[in-house]
Amino acid sequence: MTYKTTMLAALLAATALSGAQAADPIKIGVVTPLSGTYAGIGQQVRWGLDLATKEVNAAGGIMGRQVELIYEDEEANPSVAVQKADKLFQVNKVDFLTGTVNSGSTLAVGQVAERAGKLIATTVSFADSITTDKCSPNVFRVNARAGQQSAALAVWLSKDKPKANVFYLGPDYEMGRSTVAAFKSAAEKVGATSSGEVFAPLDSKDYTQYFGQLRSSRPQVLYTSVAGNDTVRLLTQLQEFGLLNNLTVVGASGTVTAQNLPAIGKAAEGFVTGVGYSAQIDTPENKKFVAAFQAANKADPDLYGADSYGLIYAYKAAVEKAGSTDTDKVRKALEDLKWQTPQGEKTLRAGDHQAIQTMYVVRVSGGKFMTVGQVSGDDAIGPDACSRF
């Protein structure tokens, strides 16, 4: 009896194996941080990719071929990411690659892809440069870039707080200065006035020393792009000094996150930001996605999980349109591709390989992110600034 079942199992396994061999799987490499500071983001990327791949495979794969994901840990370090991407292209012979989180890794791996003659897509990196001045014919971005986030926020600002007086507070390094500059120009375009700006060192203990300047410029809106624990200190100290009354705090999408929201507590109430995805989006497609994601991972999807999930469907649509996994054919199929994602239809702009999508404005209310508005993709995308292809 035992012998028989073992035989049967072996036989079944053998057929399953030969079935897979009949059509080679499509291999997608995933270079993502599975350890270190960004491990939480890498986790969401993995959950999203795994879920979409499971669904695609259950429905017959891409052109009858199963999809196989091969993971490598990049430790959020561009030089490690380059090694791992090289290995995936040369040794594992992957057809496509994704997963990079920090913008430096995405840019570096993009160059590896160019040399290997393969395509990559990021589902996380925000830096505008990836699809503007440092764009690459081999790199696509399916998530919203920083410029789209601040454009969406500025549009909301012009409606909700017309002609507001805005004060800017950013962390004093490249990201902080570029986010403040981007939002300032977007806000001034829609009629806001700027009353002052200050750049605090990263990991500032005490933001109270800037409160005098803040108070004397009497802003209605404070824009900030500090992140992590800096946000905890800034917002709770603002609350402590009674400055949150009559002040709307808006910020970058990484300023208040699920990671630091519990620590900020009540001081985060009313914080507004622009994002490309929110689990609260009220559409049947998104509800179905959130339910499936929760069932698989016992956690809510965030923007990284949702955008990674959507990427598998973009790649599926492109390969089926191209009828091949050949780099040039898939590139052509991805350009101007329209496809369905949990947050609605997205379009990959041919000119710069940036996804155009509806942007959402979310506000913290009762300790949760609630959607308070949306901005159409065309209003948020901005001009094509890529001149390389």
Partner 1 sequence: MSTAIEYFQFVLAPQMLIGLVLGVAVILVALGLTIIFGLLDVINMSHGEFYALGAFIALALGSIGLPFWLLVILVPLLMLPVGYIVERGLIQRVFHSSERHVTTLLLTFGLGLVMEDAFRLVFGPNPLKPETPIAGAIDVFGVFLPLYRLFLIVGGAVIVALVALVVYRTRLGAMVRAAAFDRDMAASLGVPVQHVYAGAFAFGVALAGLAGVLLAPIYSVFPTMGRDFILMAFTVVIVGGMGSIAGVVVAGLLLTQVQAISSLYISPVWSDPIVFGIMVIMLMVRPQGLFGRLGHG
User: Which residues are near partner 1 by CB under 8 A?
Assistant: 37, 172, 198-201, 203-206, 208-212, 216, 228-229, 232-233, 236-237, 240-242, 259-260, 262-265
Helices 303-322/327-334 angle, 10° precision: 120
Q: What is the DSSP letter of 65?
A: B
Measured in degrees and rounded to the nearest 5, phi and psi for residue 129 equal: -55, -30
Instruction: Give the nearest distance from C-beta 173 to partner 1 in angstroms.
Output: 10
CA distances from 376 to 69, 192, 276, 365, 381 (A): 33, 21, 11, 23, 9
Burial class (CB in 10 A: 0-12, 13-18, 19+), 329: middle
Nearer to partner 1, 160 or 269 (CB): 269
Q: Is the dihedral of CA 43, 48, 53, 54 positive or negative?
A: positive
Nearer to partner 1, 232 or 348 (CB): 232
Nearer to partner 1, 148 or 260 (CB): 260
Helices 78-90/103-116 angle, 10° precision: 30
Nearer to partner 1, 40 or 373 (CB): 40
Instruction: Give the nearest distance from C-beta 211 to partner 1 in angstroms.
Output: 8
Instruction: Give the nearest distance from C-beta 252 to partner 1 in angstroms.
Output: 17
Instruction: Give the nearest distance from C-beta 370 to partner 1 in angstroms.
Output: 22
Rounded Cα distance between 28 and 25, Å, is 9
- Amino acid making up residue 175: M
Instruction: Give the nearest distance from C-beta 275 to partner 1 in angstroms.
Output: 19
Q: How many CB atoms lie within 10 A of CB 377?
A: 21
Instruction: Give the nearest distance from C-beta 41 to partner 1 in angstroms.
Output: 12
Nearer to partner 1, 159 or 205 (CB): 205
Rounded Cα distance between 11 and 153, Å, is 59
Nearer to partner 1, 39 or 372 (CB): 39
| Contact present, 336 and 342 (Cβ < 8 Å) | no
Instruction: Give the nearest distance from C-beta 65 to partner 1 in angstroms.
Output: 39
User: Which residue blocks in 59-145 are alpha helix, DSSP H?
Assistant: 78-90, 103-116
Nearer to partner 1, 204 or 278 (CB): 204
| Contact present, 139 and 120 (Cβ < 8 Å) | yes
**Residue 343: both structure tokens together:** 């947050």
Instruction: Give the nearest distance from C-beta 298 to partner 1 in angstroms.
Output: 17
CA distances from 318 to 16, 182, 307, 326, 334 (A): 27, 33, 16, 11, 5
How many helices and strands, by DSSP H and E, does the chain display? 13, 15
Instruction: Give the nearest distance from C-beta 131 to partner 1 in angstroms.
Output: 30
